[in-house]
């Protein structure tokens, strides 16, 4: 199995352009699957074609018995199903044992969204008198003003900025590039940050990041955890929302657009979603808001 798993991961990396994070998740899930059957059959390795649907159900049941959440179980099943689909196409196996196993039904949670008033307050928190403060303000304005993902932000290079045209170019999932407009607030924040960007010097032993837009104080490209900590701190200062990740600003971007009448398909393109059904999650947030307004204002509510 392990050799077939490595082949599949290489396919996802080279041909599907999956991110390192996604590849690691696939690898962990599939290796756990392989180790389970090797242990159950007391073999060093197991051929994928010998696993039946009943065997797979036994594996999934063992995960449930250990208290694995349905969301994680669904992810592992999806990884196994995808892997076997690859093996069938490559004629390594004849059948996909995961094909007819029903994915656990998940309770769909609404995304965490900040009120517009909190956004306004948060944007005033970074210290405009320091380079780090100007950088933080630019990070917050870009995340909220464009709705781009954390990985898209950290991957930004100077050549991706077209501030005169009020656009930026980002590389999203599957290495797909898209052009995203930016508003006047985000553009102004970026211009002020770029004016002091050269003060972020490359420290001893640091890897120069001449092309990166956002830099650490030592001149290296900003990394995901660093941005996460920055955003977490600023959101925590203005809201008690449970999640305080950069994705909350992406959720807020989409929800506020829809609240103000933006077209759902346009929001889909801005977010870089493959499917409209993914974007439709935000309409539930908007409908909930409308229901609250109705309950508070309508005499017959």
Identify whether 137 is a catalytic site residue.
no
Same domain? 235 vs 164: yes
Q: Is 273 designated active site?
A: yes
Evaluate whether residue 222 is within a structural domain: yes
41: domain CATH number? 1.10.150
173 a catalytic residue: yes
Domain that holds residue 287: 116-296
Confidence of residue 204 (pLDDT cuts 50, 70, 90): low
Query: Do residue 257 and residue 180 come from a single domain?
Result: yes
12 and 151 share one domain: no
Residue 106: inside a domain = no
- The single residue of 84, 144, 193, 282 carrying the catalytic annotation is 282
- Whether residue 270 has pLDDT greater than 70: yes
Q: Tokens standing for 153?
A: 């932000």
Q: Specify the pTM.
A: 0.68
What's the CA gap between 133 and 138, in Å, rounded?
Answer: 9
The catalytic position among 2, 13, 173, 192 is 173
Q: Are 142 and 150 in contact (CB under 8 A)?
A: no
Which residue is catalytic, options 197, 244, 250, 268? 250
Domain boundary among 40, 70, 89: 89
Give pLDDT tens digits for 49-96.
888 899 899 999 999 888 888 888 999 999 999 999 999 999 999 999
Query: Looking at the predicted structure, is the pLDDT value of residue 162 above 80?
Result: yes
Residue 102 covered by a domain: no
Is residue 94 in some structural domain?
A: no
Report residue 155's pLDDT band, with 50, 70 and 90 as the boundaries.
very high
Active-site annotation holder among 81, 135, 137, 149: 149
Asked whether residue 33 is assigned to any structural domain, the reply reads yes
Residue 21 — pLDDT band, cuts 50, 70, 90?
confident
250 among known catalytic residues: yes
Q: Domain of 161: which CATH number?
A: 1.10.443.10
Q: How many domains does the chain divide into?
A: 2
Helix, strand, coil percentages for the chain (3-state, nearest 5): 60, 5, 35
Considering the domain boundaries, does residue 99 fall inside one?
A: no
- How many C-beta atoms lie closer than 10 Å to residue 31's C-beta? 14
Q: For residues 129 and 43, give the distance between their C-alpha atoms in angstroms, rounded to a whole number.
A: 64
Do 29 and 120 reside in the same domain of the chain? no
């Amino acid at each position: 199995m392990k050799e077939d798993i490595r082949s599949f991961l290489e396919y996802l990396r080279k041909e599907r352009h999956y991110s390192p994070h996604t590849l690691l998740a696939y690898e962990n899930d599939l290796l756990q699957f392989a180790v389970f059957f090797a242990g159950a059959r007391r073999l060093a390795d197991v051929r994928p074609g010998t696993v039946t649907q009943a065997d797979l159900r036994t594996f999934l049941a063992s995960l449930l018995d250990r208290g694995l959440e349905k969301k994680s179980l669904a992810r592992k099943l999806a990884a196994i199903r995808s892997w076997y689909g690859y093996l069938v196409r490559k004629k390594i196996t004849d059948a996909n044992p995961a094909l007819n196993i029903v994915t656990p039904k998940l309770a769909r949670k609404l995304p965490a969204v900040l009120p517009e008033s909190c956004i306004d307050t948060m944007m005033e928190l970074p210290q405009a008198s320091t380079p780090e403060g100007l950088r933080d303000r630019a990070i917050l304005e870009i995340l909220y003003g464009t709705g781009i993902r954390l990985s898209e932000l950290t991957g930004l290079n100077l050549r991706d900025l077209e501030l005169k045209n009020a656009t930026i170019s980002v590389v999203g999932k599957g290495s797909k590039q898209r052009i995203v407009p930016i508003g006047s607030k985000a553009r102004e924040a970026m211009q002020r940050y770029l004016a002091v960007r050269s003060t972020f010097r490359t420290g001893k032993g640091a890897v120069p990041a001449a092309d990166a837009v956002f830099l650490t104080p030592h001149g290296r490209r900003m990394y995901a955890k660093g941005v996460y900590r920055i955003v977490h701190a600023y959101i925590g200062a203005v809201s008690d929302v449970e999640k305080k990740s950069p994705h909350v600003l992406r959720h807020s971007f989409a929800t506020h657009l829809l609240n103000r009448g933006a077209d759902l398909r346009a929001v889909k393109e801005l977010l870089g979603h493959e499917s409209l059904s993914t974007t439709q999650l935000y309409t539930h947030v908007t409908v909930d808001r409308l229901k609250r307004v109705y309950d508070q204002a309508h005499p017959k509510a």
